Amino acid sequence: MMEKLNTVFRYQINRDGLTVEELLRDDWKAGKKTVHQMRMDKAVTDTAGQPFEWRTPLEAGTELVFHFKDAVSSYKPDDHADVSVLFEDEHLLAALKPADIATHPDEHDEGGTFMNAIMAYVERSGGAYAEHINRLDKGTAGIVLVAKHPIAKALFDRMIEERAITRIYHAEVDGRLKRMRGTLQYPIGRDRHHPTRRRVSPGGQDAITRYRVIERNDESTVVEASLETGRTHQIRVHFSHIGHPVKGDTLYGGSETEDGNYRLVAKKVSFKHPFTEEQTTIEVI
């Protein structure tokens, strides 16, 4: 097995007077546990390996080197499937999850999921850390974002919570939608009569899905849907609620498909990259 990489990434300070502590705590808002552990490990050094004093103001252009010697993920590497990488840098990778596998195992010693294949891919590059940022249902295909170090995980998780990542889906739903575009704003909660199903419920969490019609067929409609919120099964629940369930989604009343998968694809994500500050768009062509 290849030696695990200790150094994960380098970063240049972008303004005079910034300290390591301010960068992590205020700019990146990394979790307290992560920041504390990095301080204890003297995990931020200069290019010669000398640790920085965390409260010393630094000049713009100063290069920091971040080390994560104990940052590992417990997913079992499993080469059961090829990994189709759409985007990758030292902080993040985005890959295409097929529609017939789960995003992650229920137990970390299990295999056969998207994250097991990702872990094998990361280990081949000498890495040891990979954690998914978003997840897709087993029957849904599309883009899954994966953090390559703990700070990226903390930042992208926060961006999901603050709705700073735009997520676009394409779905084929049963029936012919009358309106060319619309907003579905129905709260979603658990269905107490089923262990995994969700339902529109007055006491549920706010959920907003915007859509526009791309194509109308005799018995179905293809829509582009964007999520304002990220509730479990949100698109599936919302379109089922208005009488147009996703094809293949028999849990919510959709018609059956030959392969048993949903006609639902996570098509595009876009965001301002928290490290490079570049507007980044990743899309399934």
Question: What gap in Å lies between CA 97 and CA 42, rounded to an integer?
Answer: 37
Question: How would CATH label the architecture of 167-265?
Answer: 2-Layer Sandwich (3.30)
pLDDT digits (tens, 9 = 90+) for 10-58: 999 989 999 999 999 888 888 788 788 889 999 999 999 999 999 999 9
Structural domain spans, the chain: 7-67, 84-162, 167-265
Nearest to 102 by CA among 142, 136, 129: 136
**What is the model's pTM?**
0.89
CA quadruple 61, 152, 100, 73: dihedral sign: positive
Fold entry, domain 84-162? Pseudouridine synthase (3.30.2350)
Nearest to 145 by CA among 189, 93, 73: 93
Is the predicted pLDDT of residue 6 greater than 70, yes or no? no
The catalytically annotated residue of 16, 70, 78, 137 is: 137
Give me the pLDDT at residue 2, please.
Answer: 35
In 5-136 the beta strands, taken as DSSP E runs, fall at 7-12, 44-45, 63-67, 84-88, 92-97, 131-132
Give me the pLDDT at residue 4, please.
Answer: 44
**Residue 70 annotated as catalytic:** no
CA distances from 147 to 83, 95, 100, 191 (A): 15, 11, 22, 32
Give me the pLDDT at residue 7, please.
Answer: 64
Average the pLDDT over 179-197 and give the result. 96
In whole angstroms, how large is the CA radius of gyration of the chain?
Answer: 21
- 34 vs 235, more confident: 235
Average the pLDDT over 68-73 and give the result. 83
pLDDT digits (tens, 9 = 90+) for 266-283: 999 999 999 999 999 999
Tokens found for residue 37: 């552990």
Give me the pLDDT at residue 57, please.
Answer: 96
Is the predicted pLDDT of residue 3 greater than 80, yes or no? no
Average the pLDDT over 260-264 and give the result. 94
Average model confidence (pLDDT) for the chain? Answer: 92
Is the predicted pLDDT of residue 193 greater than 70, yes or no? yes
